[in-house]
Chain A
Amino acid sequence: MWDLQFTFEVMPDLLTGLWVTVQATVMGYLIALLLGLAVAMVRRVPIVGSVVHGMMEFIRTTPLVIQLVFVFLLAPSTVSGMTIGVVVLGVHYSAYTAEVYRSGIEGVAKGQWEAARALSLPQSRTWGAIVLPQAIRKVIPALGNYLIAMFKDTPLLFAIGVTELLTQAQRLGAASFRVVEMYTMVGFLFLIVSIPSAILIRRLERRYAAV
């Protein structure tokens, strides 16, 4: 049956794993936010935009886990699994965030672009002062969804040996033969993080929808 004392004993180790998971999520998410924005902007450039779009389409329709393993095998052994995990997660999700930004940019009224042109503002000001502030505001909730989605994809780092939550649970489970407790606790810890974040993002969504 369920060994409660054992569950408490391994809790610190599991929480260490959860902390690695959270770190990987946050760092990967920052990459996805920045790179996604860059991709969305580059996509408006002819030819280069189409090439980048094709690449992103490829990244988006092939599994993340095999991308992780592929890069891990090719990278020199001096690069840590964590670094590879964060970068690949970030690049993979930038393919998604780019689409989100794109829908936001396309949602900016045409007149705004024309007004910027009429005022002969430079590109940098057109984007920085007019287009992006309007575009990004609208897509904040959608971007938030990808933060949760990414958090739920971090167990894939198991495949490249990063000691995140699932890897930690597997290690502890194998050493103690208490697999049921371990994997159930992983699921439970995931829920503890993801349900409140989902509620928070739904709130955000409602607030921004009202604006």
Chain B
Amino acid sequence: MEFLIERLPLYLDGVWVTIQLTIGGSALAFVLAMVFGILGSMTHWLPRAVATVYVEVFRGIAALVLMFWMAYALPLATGFQLDDMFAAIVALGLNIGAYGAEVVRAAINAVPKPQVEATVALNMSWFQRTRLVVLPQAWAQMLPTFGNLIIELMKATAVAYLIGVTDLTAVAQQMRQGTGETIVAFIGAFVLYYLIAQVLIAGMRLLERRANRRLGRTPPAGTGLKGLLKHPAVGGARGGGAL
């Protein structure tokens, strides 16, 4: 215990890097998921084809392979050296964004048809329809799966230590090499990862409740503080079978 308390500042440095990777990766993944998800839900074949290619390619390649490619192959191919951290964020964003795009597409397609027909009757433009009617409803449906994806992304940040980013895993490795205490050094990292995940899960649950309330629905776990602690139904953690 003393061992961990003494070295807590170092661990927190690692945690901060892990959080930065998670936030950067999710921001990129979110934008990509929205853009390609909306493209994928269009009726014209061209945007749909573009979305399919993006989804299949980046979902099919492991995040670590993408990361190696960004960090080692890209500089040699283009003469353009990426910062390790940036390479990791881009790889994570591209990978998880592809899963997210499928989630967005499925959620948009699940919006009841009459809703879309109503917007046509009201003479709304495509942009108005998407922004005011379709996305707010799809949003509530995509959030639970996004919650799972953000945990996947947070976990995937751990491989960034293999391309030289000093994240939480790298710190655990350093601790071990410095002291020889494998078990204690790693337990510290495991607990911190677990805590980060719990914070993310709680945050996503709050977002979910807000989205459902705005649509006039009661969240699945019920209202009140107790409902917040209750575990929501767990779907396929890798994008709800959208693979």
Contacts and interface: CB of A to CB of B under 8 A. Distances in A.
A64 B62 contact: no
B162, B176, B194, B243: most-surrounded residue (chain A CB, <10 A) = B243
A60 B159 contact: no
A62 B236 contact: no
B243 A190 contact: no
A129 interface: no
Closest 9 CB pairs of A and B: A63-B158, A61-B197, A194-B60, A183-B73, A145-B243, A63-B155, A152-B62, A155-B64, A62-B193
A73 interface: yes
A62 B169 contact: no
Taking residues whose C-beta sits less than 8 angstroms from the other chain, chain A's interface range is: 35 or more
A194 B63 CA distance: 14
8 contacts: A61-B155, A64-B158, A66-B190, A66-B193, A73-B182, A142-B241, A166-B62, A179-B72
Interface in B32-89: 56-57, 59-66, 68-69, 72-73, 76-77
A90 interface: no
Interface of B: 56-57, 59-66, 68-69, 72-73, 76-77, 151, 155-159, 161-162, 169, 172-173, 176, 182-183, 186, 189-190, 193-194, 197-198, 201, 233-238, 241, 243
| B contact patch SS | helix
A114 interface: no
Interface of A: 58, 60-66, 69-70, 73-74, 96, 99-100, 103, 141-142, 145-146, 148-149, 152-156, 158-159, 166, 170, 173, 179-180, 182-184, 186-187, 190-191, 194-195, 198, 201, 205
